Amino acid sequence: MSDDVILKVRDLYRTYDIKGGMFKKASTLTAVKGVNLDVERGTTLAVVGESGCGKSTLARMLTMIDAQTSGSIEIDGLSMDISKTGISKEMRQKVQIVFQNPYGSLNPRQKIGHVLEEPLLLNTDMPAAERRDLALQMLEKVGLQLEHYGRYPHMFSGGQRQRIAIARAIMMKPKLLVLDEPVSALDLSVQAQILNLLADLQEEMGLTYVFISHDLSVVRYIADKVMVMYFGEVVEYGTRDEVFGNPKHDYTKTLFAATPQADVESIRKRLAAKAA
Ligand SMILES: Nc1ncnc2c1ncn2[C@@H]1O[C@H](COP(=O)(O)OP(=O)(O)OP(=O)(O)O)[C@@H](O)[C@H]1O
């Protein structure tokens, strides 16, 4: 593992103004409160916590879908403050996101070839023939077939659609992938296949992952480091073995106690069987 930090976040905040109503005063909600983190190149940081703790807000800021209220994000040496600079092609190239529901993020009227080539079309001057070659290469890389290039999203299973979303995310050869609950909507056996694919791509392409999940069995399998969020704050941050082996914060202890150990064991067995 390298000690080369690719993602550096300092004192990151995101607040939302909540409008008042007839019986309610206007207020401010702080969804992310003073988050600091460093992620080393080629490693996986898992972000866990209950619904509403700020995981997706953090993901949206890391991927420039939303701007931070204050604080800094640096990816591969480039500052990601879109409120000041807007979004450059260079910034787009550094980071991509994969969502939980691939169908929602794929345009049903676009063929897969177009879906894959679109980021290149928007952000580069690459000629059409090269774009097509790259799209075909990526289809193979994520375990799909060349004939899938001309098909529509509804012609694929959930697992295949998530492979397409991953292929699209890596078309621009990003350094960092933010994976927001990427396997939560999939059947268990398909989850294991997608997790294995992500592990292979990480090794092959030197990718760094921020992997958001509420599923501790998955986190235990994929994470190098684990960050636990609670009401917008980081309450635990350490290596996987430190956090799982010796959780310090009361919230983490409760979270771990609430996860049946059987889940952890079953996924371990499945993955071990596949690797053998
Ligand atoms: N655009 C918005 N306007 C107002 N409040 C928001 C907005 N987006 C998120 N929030 C609030 O910020 C808090 C954090 O939400 P966020 O979606 O980041 O949590 P999460 O941990 O990802 O939850 P989930 O797992 O359910 O998606 C929640 O209280 C949510 O209601």
Q: Which residues constitute the domain of residue 167?
A: 5-275
**Mean pLDDT across the chain:** 90
CA of 55 from ligand 1 middle (Å) equals 8
Ligand 1 pocket test: pick from 12, 57, 214, 251 the residue with the most ligand atoms within 8 Å of its Cβ: 57
pLDDT at 1: 46
Count of domains in the chain? 1
CA of 56 from ligand 1 middle (Å) equals 7
Please list every protein residue whose CB sits less than 6 Å from any atom of ligand 1.
16, 29, 31, 49, 51-57
pLDDT at 259: 61
User: Within the chain, which residues score under 50 in pLDDT?
Assistant: 1-2, 262, 264
Tell me which residue of 166, 131, 156, 4 sits closest to 77, measured CA to CA.
4
What are the tokens at 88? 């450059």
What CATH number should be reported for the domain holding residue 257?
Answer: 3.40.50.300
pLDDT at 263: 55
Give the ipTM: 0.95
CA of 54 from ligand 1 middle (Å) equals 6
